Amino acid sequence: MITRVLPHVDAYYSRSGPASFIDDAFHLTRENTFEPIDILISQRFPTAKEYANWDWCVRSFFFKMVGCPLDRPPFNCSSLMEQAERMESPPPSQVLKQFYDRRGEMLDHVKARRIVRWPFKFGSYPRGREPERIPYHLFLLVKEADDIMRSRNNPKDVTKLALVEKKIHFFCKYFHCHLPCGWEYNRDNASDVVACYDPMRVPRYNMAGYTPISISSLGGRSPVSEYDEQTLLSRHEMIVVMCIIHSRKTPTVWKMGRQLVLFYCKVCSCFGIDYHRLEAASEDDVCLMNVGSYNL
């Protein structure tokens, strides 16, 4: 059983030092998480050969998952799925079985008829009360990119900048409703964005008037027409992830399904949250994941 290998987790962290807190989320893919997730589900420890084939990000992911709760399902996930099942459209769990093979790859006949519609709005602000500045956590990412560009003395900085900008684009795509109207990230203007931003301003987020979209408000819209090409998730499933993060209660992450896990980890990374320790997140860290109240 996986619970018997918990001492190995402590040994891994003590040996790796700062590497135990590496930001691995944006290095994870469906392909390199297939084996470790299957091993976690089977409740066993990897063999020496399996472990040797993993790179540092997969090893970090595996040990973080081992440390996640083992005695409860993802917070609110099953109840949210039941809400989706009561709607005219099928629940996400059924959609995945119908449109994906066991490795999480979309079937060819589904690819041909899928319609990806963007933007996916998770909420909205009334006219005249839209955000006047970018979200605080997006500012931190832009500042990180600007700091890297100001001190390009290390060849690894190019790779670091690419990773940070990948997070920025991810943030802007899935949280665009919290951006000022027409705002776009531009590498050349990053320093101006940082200089004009007051990080000491409180509250960090002013979401007055923001109205979140919940699963129940989606009606009978077909999940097939709303599948996202990048995450391979429907809006229903992304809302489930948002709700889990907003709860600040760490789920048994590896029981959520591979696509949900990857989206979950990347959202947490953009907000500086340890995906295996949601309880350590602050209210500011999760406020943009507010997808409404559920009577659960």
| Sequence-distant (≥ 6) Cβ neighbours of residue 200 within 8 angstroms | none
Between 118 and 282, name the one with better pLDDT.
Answer: 282
pTM attached to this predicted model:
0.80
pLDDT digits (tens, 9 = 90+) for 155-173: 678 889 999 999 999 999 9
Average pLDDT over residues 272-292: 92
Determine contact, residues 268/101, Cβ cutoff 8 Å.
no
| Sequence-distant (≥ 6) Cβ neighbours of residue 230 within 8 angstroms | 173
> In the predicted model, what is the mean pLDDT of the chain?
77
Highest mean pLDDT of the ranges 69-83, 163-177, 230-244: 163-177
Average pLDDT over residues 254-263: 86
Determine contact, residues 187/266, Cβ cutoff 8 Å.
no
Three-state SS at 124: strand
**The predicted structure's pLDDT at residue 139:** 98
What backbone torsions phi and psi does residue 100 show, to the nearest 5 degrees? -130, 150
Three-state SS at 160: helix
Model confidence band, residue 9 (pLDDT cutoffs 50, 70, 90): very low
DSSP type of residue 102: T
Domains of the chain: 2-66 (no CATH), 77-122+213-289 (no CATH), 124-196 (1.10.287.10)
